[in-house]
Amino acid sequence: MGMHIYIWAGLKSHYAGQHDYPQFLADWSKLLTAHGAVVDGALHAPTAADLAHTDVVIIYKGDAGYLTAEEKTALEAYIRRGGGLVSLHDSLCGPDPDYFATLVGGAKKHGEVNYTLGAPISYTVVETSNPIMKGMSNIVLFDEAFFNMTWAHDPGIDVLATAVIPGTPSAGSHKGEVVPQIWTYEHVLNGGKPARAFVWMQGHEYANFSNYQIQQMLLRGIAWAARQPVDTLVDYVPPARPANSQFQSPGP
């Protein structure tokens, strides 16, 4: 049986082609299943029952940092068991970035101007030897980058790729800052087991999920967060279809 993945998506927001969380739930449920995973998910936070047999939660929704007390309790219990998290784009935004950074390594505060809006985001891969970044080059994506981040400390994040903040009107004086955009985070939450989180801060433009390098990187990051061999999803080979599997008429 493959790794168990829960996709926590949200309602569509922004303009056409942007922040298409429901489409991600549909597309990546199929993609991950085709790569050998067992996938569940919804447009709401996972419950304790959802998390009972989950290896990794992929979060792609706006402002996932807004957690109810019940959602927070379920998520913390899951992480204490060693459950993995994958945070995409603005999932790490919310009212309390200090708290959410303890879950995924970095977060940003909702309501602040801490984003570039659409712009060319130029990656610099800083850990070329990390297996998650295998085949990843210093590509440029038209997307969105964040700054004014709140970072976890002791432990901190392991930066895999950075970007220079481009000079957009919203970036203002932050133009030229070098900010992590892809990272891993290993930590222990409140005396639990070691847990992992993987973060990709792009995904503003939904089309970028189809970029081959990005897709391969995400598949490896998901497997890593689930504590599986990093190429588990990338290298999955489906079982051969039996020769007699094609539908045949039962005859007269």
The predicted-structure confidence for 205-228, as pLDDT tens digits, reads as follows 999 999 999 999 999 999 999 999
Comparing 205 with 2, which gets the higher pLDDT? 205
Bridge partners, residue 194, by sequence: 188
Q: Which domains does the chain have, with CATH numbers?
A: 4-225 (3.40.50.880)
For residues 78-105, give the mean pLDDT: 97
For residues 242-249, give the mean pLDDT: 63
Structure confidence at residue 53 (pLDDT)? 95
Mean pLDDT over all residues of the chain? 95
pLDDT in tens, 187-202: 999 889 999 999 999 9
Structure confidence at residue 239 (pLDDT)? 87
pLDDT in tens, 37-67: 999 999 999 999 999 999 999 999 999 999 9
pTM for this entry: 0.94
Q: What confidence tier does 249 reach under pLDDT thresholds 50, 70, 90?
A: low
pLDDT in tens, 140-181: 999 999 999 999 999 999 999 999 999 999 999 999 999 999
Structure confidence at residue 243 (pLDDT)? 77
